[in-house]
Every structure is written in C-alpha cells, then in structure tokens.
Amino acid sequence: MNHQHQNTAFEHMPNSLHGLYLITNDDPLDIILEKISIALATQQIALLQYRRKKVEKTNQDTEIEKILKICNQYNVPLIINDDLAQAQRFGAHLHLGQDDGSIVEARQVLGESAIIGRTCLNDLSLAEQAIHDGASYVAFGAIYGSTTKPEAGNIGLDVLKQAKQQFDIPICAIGGLTAENSQAVITAGADLCAVVSGILGLESEQIPQRIEAWSALFNYT
C-alpha cells in the first residue's frame, strides 16, 4: 500500500494539548466514520486516538487511512494506540501503554514534533519517568471507578492535583468521565479528558450538543 500522506498529521500540531480527547470504540467502521466526522466538525476535539483492538492488524491500515483523511480535513492530530510502526507509516502521533514500547525509541523514530503520550495509571513515578523519556503528555486513570471501585474517583482526583503541581506538561484524564462529573477533573488539573462511549456511544444527532457541554467545562476554567 502506498502511503503518500507521510507526516501530514504533523502539520496540524496544536499550540497546546487542551480539551476533549476522543478515542475510537469497536463499532462498525462506517458508524465510527460518521460519528467522528460529526464530532470533529464541531472544531472542539483536541485529539483523536485510533484504538481498535478487535480489528485484525491487516485491516487496520485501511481504517486509519479513512480516519486520517477526516482528521486532516478538520486539523485534528491522529494518535495511534500502541503501534509505533503504524504511527511512522502514516506520519501520525502515538500513545503508548505502560508495557507497549519505549518513548525514547518512539521519539527517535517519529521525531521531535510528534505527540507521544504515555499511560501512567495513577502513579506519579511512572509519569516522572515518561516525562524524562520525552513524553508529550501523561495520562492518568481510571479517574472514576466503577460501582465496585467507587474509591477510584478520590484517588484519581488527588493524583491529578499532585501531577499538576509537579509537572509542566499536559495531563490527560481517562476513566468514567462525563460532562456531568468532569468539572472537578479539569479543576484538579486535567488538560485533556479522554472519552470513548461518552461521545461515540451516542446517537449521531446527540453528539454536537454533548461536545458543546464538554467545551463549556474547558472554557469555564
């Protein structure tokens, strides 16, 4: 496959990583493409992450090509989840889990202008290491736990507050976030709020209004 759009994503680097961070779900691709188009058209999405664990690797390139076109249309950086080779192939950005490769290597491969994020669970020492290695942002979560782990919310907010005091790179929050419960998350220190079903789980016509509610939270702080 001939990828002629190398590095196109880097042309759309935002001045700051701030706002709503949309992550794909496992819906059929045509539904995802429709909802992504609606979401990005609001001009209120900071980043979009391609994360499709249930799709065979051999089919992912075709999906990424289609999603990257939409991202480029609306100047939204595309983040690839856990696959440095894919990110390099498409000139896209990268998010790495704790066990999914070296930030140092990714930075060498993708260059200084790439956005490279790292999952840090709720561990400040992991974030410190990620920043030392060259991460562009650090992600903490789950911020809000399930009904079986209600205490996660308290832990998550405390970690965000500490991270905001210690670190000077953008902080991403993930886990159970909604427009109703995330004012405290943003106030605690989150620059980015990562959402999957909170946007893509809605009917298409509900998406713009929901994104507007999120934007109000970020604009409020």
Give the position of tokens 């400040």.
124
At 129, the amino acid letter reads Q
Asked whether the beta carbons of 5 and 72 are under 8 A apart, the reply is yes
pLDDT of amino acid 154: 74
State the 10-residue block means of pLDDT for the chain, 221 residues long.
44 68 97 98 97 95 98 97 98 96 97 97 96 98 74 83 97 95 96 96 98 93 51
State residue 95 phi and psi, 5-degree precision: -120, 130
pLDDT of residue 147: 60
C-alpha–C-alpha distance, residues 102 and 69, integer Å: 28
The CA distance from 148 to 167, in Å, is 31
